Amino acid sequence: MTETTTEPNGSSAKQPAQADIAVTGLATMGRNLARNLARHGHSVAVHNRTKARTDALVATYGDEGTFIVCDSIEDLVRSLKRPRKVIIMVQAGAGTDEVIEQLADALEPGDIVVDGGNAHFIDTRRRESALRERGLHFVGTGISGGEEGALLGPSIMPGGTAEAYQTLGPILESIAAQVDDTPCCTHVGADGAGHFVKMVHNGIEYADMQLIGEAYDLLRTVLGKSTEELAEIFRTWNSGDLESFLIEITAEVLAAKDPRGEGAFVDVVLDQTEQKGTGRWTVQIALDLGTPVSGIAEAVFARSVSGHAEQRQAANGVLEGPSTKITIDKPEEFVEDVRRALYASKVVAYAQGFDMIRDGAEAYDWDIDLGAMATIWRGGCIIRARFLDRIREAYEKTPDLPSLLVDPYFARTVNEGQESWRRVVATAAAAGVPVPGFGAALSYYDALRRDRLPAALLQGLRDLFGAHTYRRTDAEGSFHLDWSGDKSEQEA
Ligand SMILES: NC(=O)C1=CN([C@@H]2O[C@H](COP(=O)(O)OP(=O)(O)OC[C@H]3O[C@@H](n4cnc5c(N)ncnc54)[C@H](OP(=O)(O)O)[C@@H]3O)[C@@H](O)[C@H]2O)C=CC1
Ligand SMILES: O=C(CO)[C@H](O)[C@H](O)COP(=O)(O)O
């Protein structure tokens, strides 16, 4: 174990050391998180399975603060002040389990293990319970912001015990993004709550990106806009209600040129969206919780459709599109319609995501403050956006809001946008442009506001074919109709 501090003359000094915190796993995220900690005055013990990464970190960035180079997990543990705090930033899954096991053998009761990877919250609950039995704190922590966020200030979503957060919180809050002098980090709730919220964050990220993709496709296909014009449209949108990191980088990606030629970068990228799995997890868990996250589900499926290259190739030229080409008389009005449809659909995706956090909190007995989640997503993370302030205000004003859509600001937003939304979805259908995100969001909006749904007919069908019973609008209890007999009603 050696401490590397940079002296004023630039030389390195080696001395026994006591680090404030450790990071193991120094790939993209871990390296930048360690640098962020060091830049904020924390002495950081650093370790990576493959030593070359540790050496490269210290050789390149050693002058940014105090790094203590460790060759092994045991070395790392020896370097730390008590209670020891170790952040794991390794590949999610088996790698994380391996590192936890090594750490648990070397640490002592009261020490804190932080998993900052994208772990499934069910794994986090299992790991937390196992480490608790050994007297250790396990803090599953969602960290969002990618490479740049990890270095300059991510959004941090720690779970685990309040006791562990008391020790760990000040350090995490010091390196998190800051918005209006408020750190984008707070204790989310017990055991896997942090990773659950990070999972939903990523689900919303999928929905948001899908909606942006649909807006781009519509403006390009229906209006024939060039990528330069589209970049400008997104740039303009980024100065209004839609202001967000994802809209900002959409303009950047659309403006980018093919590094190998003259054309647009986006035109040479293979149109198959990959996924690491957090969006899929969100939908799987939402199905179990019974939370309709249709925007996220459509986004996950749209990625799957894009990846089915052989099917798409087989259908291309076989399945017909509209027989008449759609013409738009007032292109500028259509651009505004798409902007409003995008904002309204985005509001639905976030409303569904917040519903899922509320349902997850109830199912897993977490005390999650929805307004606080909106607060810590205002900066640092991939879905950071101006309107998260509105979400924070909505939940602060009415913590038990049945749906974000009924908050006065959001109700007015979707009400004002709904005519545009309908025109956009209808135009997309007429032009043969797939808009699963816009369509699902509008259907959800219409389902919520309807007085009666066709669910009543489905209940009738279920009762006829399977005697599954139905409830009545005008009486308590469950009933069954004698479908094959005299059609009389019996109480079930
Ligand atoms: N990249 C991103 O934008 C984001 C990533 N995350 C999450 O953060 C974590 C780290 O991500 P990232 O930095 O991209 O790195 P990767 O997910 O690519 O993981 C690589 C790191 O894991 C280590 N590792 C893998 N298996 C083992 C093992 N069995 N034992 C010890 N170490 C192991 C590697 O060590 P070695 O060098 O020896 O191979 C390396 O340090 C992941 O869980 C990821 O999902 C979260 C938010 C954003
Ligand atoms: O966690 C993240 C940000 O918060 C990553 O951006 C996310 O893992 C990317 O996911 P995918 O590869 O599935 O698109």
pLDDT 10s digits, 392-449? 999 999 999 999 999 999 999 999 999 999 999 999 999 999 999 999 999 999 999 9
pLDDT digits (tens, 9 = 90+) for 11-46: 333 444 599 999 999 999 999 999 999 999 999 999
Output the CA angle 481-482-485, nearest 5 degrees: 155
What Rg value do the Cα atoms of the chain yield, rounded? 26
Tokens 């009543």 found at = 456
Phi, psi of 478 (to 5 degrees): -115, 150
Residue 267: is it exposed, middle or buried by C-beta count within 10 angstroms (0-12/13-18/19+)?
Answer: exposed
Number of residues written out for the chain:
492
Of the pLDDT bands very low, low, confident and very high (cuts 50, 70, 90), residue 10 is very low
* Active-site entry in 3, 64, 128, 205: 205
- Which of 23, 26, 29 for a ligand 1 pocket mutation test, highest count of atoms within 8 Å of Cβ? 29
Cβ of residue 146 lying under 6 Å from some atom of ligand 1: yes
- How far does the centroid of ligand 1 lie from the alpha carbon of residue 422, in Å? 43
pLDDT, position 2: 58
Q: Is the pLDDT of residue 9 over 50?
A: no
- How far does the centroid of ligand 1 lie from the alpha carbon of residue 95, in Å? 8
pLDDT, position 1: 62
Please indicate whether residue 74 is annotated as part of the active site: no
Using DSSP bridges, classify how beta strands 112-115 and 44-47 pair: parallel, antiparallel or unpaired: unpaired
From the CA of 209, give the closest atom in ligand 2.
14
pLDDT, position 7: 34
Complex prediction ipTM: 0.97
- How far does the centroid of ligand 2 lie from the alpha carbon of residue 178, in Å? 21
Cβ of residue 99 lying under 6 Å from some atom of ligand 1: yes
pLDDT digits (tens, 9 = 90+) for 124-155: 999 999 999 999 999 999 999 999 999 999 99
- How far does the centroid of ligand 1 lie from the alpha carbon of residue 485, in Å? 65
Higher pLDDT, 58 or 5: 58
pLDDT digits (tens, 9 = 90+) for 198-227: 999 999 999 999 999 999 999 999 999 999
pLDDT, position 291: 98
- Calpha distance 492→480 (Å, rounded): 6
Cβ of residue 25 lying under 6 Å from some atom of ligand 1: yes
pLDDT, position 365: 98
Average pLDDT of every residue of the chain: 96
- How far does the centroid of ligand 2 lie from the alpha carbon of residue 381, in Å? 11
Q: Is the distance from CB of 6 to CB of 62 less than 8 angstroms?
A: yes
Q: Is 79 annotated as a binding residue?
A: no
pLDDT digits (tens, 9 = 90+) for 246-301: 999 999 999 999 999 999 999 999 999 999 999 999 999 999 999 999 999 999 99
pLDDT, position 3: 56
From the CA of 143, give the closest atom in ligand 2.
4
Cβ of residue 427 lying under 6 Å from some atom of ligand 2: no
Cβ of residue 202 lying under 6 Å from some atom of ligand 2: yes
| pTM of structure | 0.95
- Calpha distance 78→471 (Å, rounded): 65
Q: Determine if the peptide bond prior to 83 is cis (ω within 30°).
A: yes
Smallest CA separation from ligand 2 atom 5, residue: 146
Using DSSP bridges, classify how beta strands 67-69 and 2-6 pair: parallel, antiparallel or unpaired: antiparallel
* Active-site entry in 3, 85, 128, 198: 198
Please indicate whether residue 81 is annotated as part of the active site: no
Residue 58's contacts (CB-CB under 8 Å, 6 or more residues apart) are 4, 46, 67, 69
pLDDT, position 4: 55
Q: At what angle do helices 294-307 and 193-223 cross, to 10 degrees?
A: 60
pLDDT digits (tens, 9 = 90+) for 319-371: 999 999 999 999 999 999 999 999 999 999 999 999 999 999 999 999 999 99
Extract the runs of DSSP E, i.e. beta strands, from 306-451.
none
